[in-house]
Amino acid sequence: MFELTIKDEFAAAHRLQNYNGACENLHGHNFIVELSVICEKLNETYIAIDFKELKAILKEILNNLDHRYLNDIGFFKNTNPTSEMIAMYIFKETEKRLSSSGCRPSKVSVWESQRAKATYFEM
């Protein structure tokens, strides 16, 4: 197995409902996202998946979140747009886009600050 990891970022606003604290108020973050994928095989050039292709996939997903109020996005309508749920959203969206590539996401980490991140993966 091969694991490849890329990073990107986006800025967005959200508020956490039913949260007793400052995060219940409207606020924003400059989120940093780490996406890791695993691939079983290499192509004839000995590449699992081109980093350029992987970066384009992540950029497309993040463009749907960038400079948005996350609470208004369909995936988050019935939940809170926490770092945990943002990581899950990015994982699921990546999974859809990689379905025919021979690769799959292994984990997604979302940093909401330099000292706090949440990671989503499936066993």
Residues of the chain falling short of pLDDT 50: none
**How many structural domains comprise the chain?**
1
Residue 63 belongs to a domain with what CATH number? 3.30.479.10
Q: What is the pLDDT of residue 61?
A: 98
Could you tell me which residues come within 8 angstroms of residue 58 by beta carbon, excluding any fewer than 6 positions away?
A: 6, 8, 33, 35, 90, 94
pLDDT score at 114 = 94
What pTM did the predictor assign? 0.96
Query: Hey, CA dihedral for 67, 108, 100, 1, is it positive or negative?
Result: positive
Q: Which domain holds residue 105?
A: 2-120
Looking at residue 81, what is its pLDDT?
97
Q: Residue 12 corresponds to which amino acid?
A: A
Digit-coded pLDDT (tens) for 23-55? 999 999 999 999 999 999 999 999 999 999 999
**Distance from first CA to last CA of the chain, Å, rounded?**
15
pLDDT value at residue 6: 98
What pLDDT is recorded for position 123? 85
Residue 22, Cα to own-chain centre: how many angstroms? 24
pLDDT above 90 covers a percentage of the chain that reads 96
